[in-house]
Amino acid sequence: MLKTAYRSLLCLVLAATAISGCSESEIQPLRLGTNVWPGYEPLYLAREIGELPGEKIKLVEYPSASEVIRAFRNRALEAASLTLDEVLMLVQDDIPVKVILVHDISNGADTILARPGIESMQDIHNKRVAVESSALGAFMISRALELNALSVADIDIRHLEVNAHEQAYLNNEVDVVVNFEPVRTRLLNQGAHEIFTSREIYGEIVDVMVVHEDIYENRKDAIGSIVKSWFSALAYFNSNQNKAASIMAKRLNVSPDEVIAGFDGLELPDEQQNSTMLGGEKPSLELTIARLEKVLKENGLISNDTPIPDILRADFIQN
């Protein structure tokens, strides 16, 4: 009995310090953090349809991407679903990570919404703009301003967590919000309209799954299970779209039809596309990283001398 207690304690210590020694079956489930976003919803669909092994994986949902990033930085999470620009911010801060899956490419699902009367980006001078304090929020507004020959000095930035945007808009506390699904759909239903979307910067907003580098080395079985579950859920969604949308709608607080419409603004790469983006001698996502790094540097979001290491891994993609 003493030996059993000692071994259990030892496993906990090794898991906490990411040192191998105990089998993965003796380690706590790998914690994967997300915020509410349709592009991550197949993870929760996988859990609902029994494709996500709970003994290996624990999904942890946060109200905003900012909180996911904080939890990942503080090692409260072993894995996280983030935008690629947010990953580059982590790398700049010397947090070793590996990108092991591409969730989606935003093609209209990320948006800047405005009140009636604000007809275009040119009308947002001195307007109150709600932006989440994260790399994505800063990136989105920076690119929209840049493409419209405007600057941050032209607007009144209000830093709000994304889960506070909807209420701030309804309370007339802000005029414009930098947001995404499912809040996008709910605000459109309240009379807001789009003045800029990710279609105008296609390929620049990419959602990926990252793990800490030591987790990549020591938790391969759990990581493999996540990736397998993801593609199982995508297959289910593609073949049972209406049923899958009904399951997702309950979590996203929109109708099943709105769930399906929300996915119209996303591209969900399959296994072959993931393999091309993450693997081979020249992963195609490297071009996206180079473009993102340039934009982030130009907007002062990362330093000019921050090297971007080899962070892409296709080890777990089957095709």
Rounded Cα distance between 57 and 78, Å, is: 10
Q: Which of 177, 201, 225 is the last residue of a domain?
A: 201
Mean pLDDT, residues 133-149 taken together: 86
**Contact (Cβ atoms closer than 8 angstroms) between residue 227 and residue 234:** no
Same domain, 96 and 126: no
User: Looking at the 3D structure of the chain, how many domains does it have?
Assistant: 2
Q: Tell whether 1 is covered by a domain.
A: no
Mean pLDDT, residues 236-254 taken together: 91
Same domain, 60 and 166: no
Please check the confidence at residue 5 and state whether its pLDDT lies above 60. Answer: no
Rounded Cα distance between 145 and 298, Å, is: 13
Same domain, 147 and 263: no
pLDDT digit string (tens) for 225-236? 999 999 999 999
pLDDT at 148: 95
Q: Tell whether 56 is covered by a domain.
A: yes
Give bridge partners of residue 32 from the DSSP assignment: 59, 79
Q: Tell whether 72 is covered by a domain.
A: yes
Same domain, 144 and 186: yes
pLDDT at 23: 52
User: Which pLDDT band holds residue 12 (cuts at 50, 70, 90)?
Assistant: very low
Mean pLDDT, residues 77-93 taken together: 93
Contacts 24+ apart (CB under 8 A), 290-293: 291/203, 291/204, 292/84, 292/85, 292/88, 292/139, 292/204, 293/88
pLDDT at 252: 79
Q: Tell whether 17 is covered by a domain.
A: no
Same domain, 33 and 155: no
> Comparing 227-236, 250-259, 272-281, which segment has the lowest mean pLDDT?
250-259
Rounded Cα distance between 75 and 218, Å, is: 15
Tell me, what DSSP letter sits at residue 52?
A: S
Please check the confidence at residue 72 and state whether its pLDDT lies above 60. Answer: yes
pLDDT at 307: 64
The label of the residue with tokens 């948006």 reads: 111
Rg of the chain, C-alpha, whole Å: 20
The tokens for 309 are 């290491």
CATH number for 74: 3.40.190.10
Rounded Cα distance between 208 and 101, Å, is: 6
Q: Tell whether 13 is covered by a domain.
A: no
pLDDT at 293: 85
pLDDT at 206: 95
User: Which pLDDT band holds residue 182 (cuts at 50, 70, 90)?
Assistant: confident
User: Which pLDDT band holds residue 214 (cuts at 50, 70, 90)?
Assistant: very high
pLDDT at 25: 46
Please check the confidence at residue 1 and state whether its pLDDT lies above 60. Answer: no
Averaged pLDDT score across all residues of the chain: 87
Q: Residue 291 contacts by C-beta under 8 Å, 6 or more apart in sequence?
A: 203, 204
Same domain, 115 and 74: no
Q: Tell whether 96 is covered by a domain.
A: yes
Same domain, 136 and 257: no
Same domain, 195 and 210: no
Q: Which of 173, 201, 229 is the last residue of a domain?
A: 201
Same domain, 134 and 96: no
Q: Which of 201, 220, 244 is the last residue of a domain?
A: 201
Q: Tell whether 15 is covered by a domain.
A: no
pLDDT digit string (tens) for 304-317? 655 666 899 999 99
The letter for the amino acid at 89 is: M
Give bridge partners of residue 99 from the DSSP assignment: 210, 312
- Alpha-carbon torsion (195, 201, 202, 208), positive or negative: negative
- In percent, how much of the chain has pLDDT > 70? 89
Please check the confidence at residue 111 and state whether its pLDDT lies above 50. Answer: yes
Q: Tell whether 14 is covered by a domain.
A: no
Same domain, 249 and 176: no
Rounded Cα distance between 168 and 157, Å, is: 13
Same domain, 100 and 118: no
Q: Which domain holds residue 237?
A: 28-106+204-298
User: Which pLDDT band holds residue 7 (cuts at 50, 70, 90)?
Assistant: very low
Mean pLDDT, residues 168-173 taken together: 95
- Which phi and psi (to 5°) does residue 193 adopt? -140, 160
Greater confidence (15 vs 256) lies with 256
- Alpha-carbon torsion (216, 221, 226, 230), positive or negative: positive
Please check the confidence at residue 251 and state whether its pLDDT lies above 90. Answer: no
Rounded Cα distance between 138 and 301, Å, is: 8
- In percent, how much of the chain has pLDDT > 90? 63
pLDDT at 64: 85
The tokens for 27 are 């380690």
